[in-house]
């Protein structure tokens, strides 16, 4: 039988999921933040910085930060929005037999209203079994006026050596290079990290494949239309206090995003997007 239990992660309240076939995941209540995924019989697939900060007001470096309602510094809100630095609540531990599944919720409060005057309820649902993990972000407009938002699941995938890893599937896709602000079109199918990479691909195909020696991870998405590929490279990494200088080699962010065409949500409506990983 699958199990979903309260636990601690680095001393902070979290939820431990285990499917009937032994796949495991851990979600921090802080940020509704997935910090670990180990497929059945496999190894850790996510990267979390050993020097990350945790707790109220802090953003965890690694795992799957939840970005809403603003991506990066594209607006007047705190960088990457309101939810990654706040506590969430575990609302459901539904049992689906072999699958392990947990639902966490965040409801608009006075602190979000002070920055962004909208009523909303957000949910993160993580489901896992075997080699597959699904993470869904859903938001409902619980107010009486429409609002617009950007959203992303900022997934940090672990790599053995990012210089030898390749991300496949983005041939011909147009992207905004966040390092220059210029739009470009990707020529080849393979994206590789040779230094800082920070690209917002628009209308990206799904699935993509992250491949390295002896390992691959398929990355699919629905609802999200953009993909952000980010690695700080050695120079930016050295400027990040919460990332060891060499750890840029151990990660690649492949983010399911909706940034270029933000979502408009009418009162009472819900929007949901999902990112799915399959390890192979």
Ligand X SMILES: O=P(O)(O)OC[C@H]1O[C@H](O)[C@H](O)[C@@H](O)[C@@H]1O
Residues between 242 and 271 with contacts to ligand X, criterion CB under 6 A? 253
- Is residue 237 within 8 A of residue 266, CB to CB? The reply is no
Judge whether 207 and 169 are in contact, CB under 8 Å: yes
DSSP class of 276: E
Which residues in 57-96 contact ligand X (CB under 6 A)? 59, 72, 79-80
What CA–CA distance (Å, rounded) separates 271 from 265?
A: 7
Q: Hey, what are 114's tokens? A: 């002070």
- Whether 154 sits among the annotated catalytic residues: the reply is yes
Q: Closest residue to ligand X, Cβ-based?
A: 230
CB of 106 to ligand X, least distance (A): 18
Helix count and strand count (H, E) for the chain: 2, 22
Specify the residue, 101 or 178, whose C-beta has the smaller distance to ligand X.
178
24/33 with CB nearer ligand X:
33
Residues 214-233 that bind ligand X (CB under 6 A): 228, 230
The DSSP line for 81-139 is BSSTTSB-EEEE--EETTEEEEEEEEE--HHHHHHS---EEEEEEEEEETTEEEEEEEE
Q: How many residues bind ligand X (CB under 6 A)?
A: 10
Nearer CB in complex with ligand X: 100/193: 193
Q: Which is nearer to ligand X, 30 or 80 (CB)?
A: 80
Active site residue 33: no
Question: Of residues 188-207, which lie at the interface with ligand X (CB under 6 A)?
Answer: 198
Nearest to 108 by CA among 123, 96, 125, 95: 123
Q: Is 150 in the site for ligand X (CB under 6 A)?
A: no
Closest approach of ligand X to the CB of residue 79, in Å: 5
What value does the CA radius of gyration of the chain take, rounded to a whole number of Å?
18
- Residue of 30, 136, 154, 176 marked active site: 154
Residues that bind ligand X (CB under 6 A): 59, 72, 79-80, 154, 178, 198, 228, 230, 253
Give the residue numbers annotated as catalytic, written as ranges.
154, 255
């Amino acid at each position: 039988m699958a199990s979903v239990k309260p636990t601690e992660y680095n001393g902070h309240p979290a939820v431990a999921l285990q499917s009937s076939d032994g796949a495991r995941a851990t979600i921090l209540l802080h940020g509704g933040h997935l910090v670990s995924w180990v497929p059945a019989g496999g190894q850790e697939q996510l990267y979390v910085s050993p020097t990350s900060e945790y707790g109220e007001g802090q953003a965890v470096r690694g795992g799957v930060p939840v970005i809403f309602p603003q991506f990066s510094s594209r607006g007047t809100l705190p960088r990457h929005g309101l939810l990654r630095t706040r506590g969430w609540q575990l609302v459901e531990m539904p049992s689906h037999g072999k699958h392990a599944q947990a639902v966490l919720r965040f409801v608009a409060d006075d602190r979000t209203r002070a920055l962004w005057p909208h009523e909303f309820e957000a949910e993160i649902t993580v489901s896992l079994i075997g080699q597959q993990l699904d993470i869904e972000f859903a938001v409902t407009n619980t107010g009486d006026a429409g609002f617009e938002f950007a959203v992303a699941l900022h997934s940090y995938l672990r790599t053995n050596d990012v210089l030898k890893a390749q991300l496949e599937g983005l041939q011909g896709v147009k992207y905004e290079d966040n390092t220059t602000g210029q739009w470009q079109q990707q020529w080849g199918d393979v994206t590789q990290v040779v230094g800082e990479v920070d690209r917002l691909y628009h209308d990206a195909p799904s699935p993509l494949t992250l491949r390295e020696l002896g390992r691959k991870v398929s990355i699919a998405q629905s609802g999200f239309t953009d993909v952000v590929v980010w690695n700080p490279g050695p120079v930016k990494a050295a400027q990040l206090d919460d990332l060891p200088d060499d750890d840029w080699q151990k990660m690649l962010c492949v983010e399911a995003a909706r940034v270029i065409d933000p979502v408009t949500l009418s009162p009472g409506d819900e929007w949901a997007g999902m990112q799915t990983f399959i390890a192979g």
